[in-house]
Structure 1
Amino acid sequence: MSFIAILPTLLLVALALVMFGLGLSLSLADFRRLLNHPRAVLLALVLQVLVLPAVCYGLIVLLKVPPVFAVGLMLLAASPGGVSANLFSHLFGGNVAMNISLTAINTLLSIISLPLIANWAINTFANTGQVVPLQFGKVMEVIAVVLIPVVIGMVVNSRSPGFSQRMERPMKIFSALVLASFALIAIAKEWSALVTSFASIGPAVVAFNVVSLLAGYYLSLWAGLEKSLATAISFEIGIHNSTLAIFVALSVLNNFQLALPAAIYSVSMYITATLFGMLVLRRQSATCE
């Protein structure tokens, strides 16, 4: 059996472990904490579920992204915040507790929103049969690989908090390695297609990332939220769980080309998020001083 043949299974197992690691960092208190900042939570959810998919659609139309890549980009837009959002928020003065809480609620919401947005994108951009819509069984597969490991991780965290603390750093490293590995695999698999079509997909991926970060930050400030919350929301909606998008593309929809936007994003977002933090957030801090 070739490596490519077993790749979807490996990705499923790896993503389940990543979700388990996320669960180890969550508790019921993270959900209760959301009640302390209702305005911030409402804004973040509206941006994540409604605004970002609309922005993504606008970029697809404006930049004339090819249909199969358009579906892949919408998959990315429908994915919740990634684990890396917590790291960037910590580095640049965000409210990390809010990031963790938002990641928890967004991950649960994505179980419903991701299949809906994915099927809408397939019917809108690729209704030629090139991409098969998510059927009920496939939706249940996404639920299983996302929700169940997170719940198991939360149960372990509640019963063995010491174990969760010891595993926090290893699981973060593992998550980063999984993300990098499958991004590189997806890029290598479709390298020739990527080279020939990068001009039509690369700008859209980077633009989506930049607009997400800026919208999260400045709309939060405009809504009257303090800087730490604005920073947390910015990274939460600006750094998506591209591993989940790649999983849906490869394992659920069985289409490597759909994974390319998320693969490119998983590399480029480290650059854009770092530059955003340095140029925008630190400049805001200098201005305040």
Structure 2
Amino acid sequence: MLSAAAFDDSAATYDDAFTESTIGRLLRAAVWRRLDAQFRAGDRVLELNCGTGADAIHLAQRGVHVLATDVSEAMLAVTRRKVAQAGMEELVQVAKLDIADLAAWGSSLRSETRDQRSQDDDSSPSRDPISDLRPPVSGLLSNFGGLNCVADLAGVAQALAGLLKPGGRAILCIMGPLAPWEWAWYLRQGQVGKAFRRLRRDGVPWRGLTIRYPSIAALRRAFAPMFTVQRVSAIGALLPPSYVEPWAARHPALLARLNRIERRLETAWPLPWLADHYLIEMVLH
């Protein structure tokens, strides 16, 4: 189970620190371009780790139905308030969901036999953790590192496959292990351990959680039995990470130029492999 407290503490400041920051706006706009390309009005999208609801509201404004979920009640409270302010209550449903529960459910599905799956037993560990909330789902979204908090990516993949219509699309934004911006930023400050923290095999402790940084290849392997990767792009390879905001504020012209170049080359090797986040788009077999 994920620690909701780790995210509750960030709910009040998240939008100021990231959503509304100069870098945050550019990074989210890059993701939105792909959401707009993949999801259409009338689609039903399950969003994991919805945070303060920026993506859910963006999709709803385009006519997409969204089930926005998060483990943090504080984040969900902000999302509900923003959804109401935007007048999107009919298109956005907000609910609590722990991604770790999805992983456990998916893991149990992998271990069950086909006969066991056919039994309708409420005590079964394979019971869908959002069975009372789920609409028909044609798309899945997890933005800005929510899946980095989960050890069992194969379990998540199995669970998501069970929630998605055949031919449905999944868009996942993952923090990768190789981040030259991070190396340069922290090495300049003499923080060698922090510069290369993403390379630790056992992950990085953070507020009671363990953050892991799967490579694109590792993510592909976890989802490969059920999903086909269609596209991988960089979200923050030439653009700096959000904690470099003070630097970005002093160099707006350079930041805009880096953004233009990154958007043109976002799928070109090696940018997705060297980005703060990579955006991987998949379709269910």
The TM-score normalised by the length of structure 1 is 0.29
Q: Which has the higher contact order (CA 8 A, sep 6+)?
A: 1
The TM-score normalised by the length of structure 2 is 0.29
More helix by share: 1
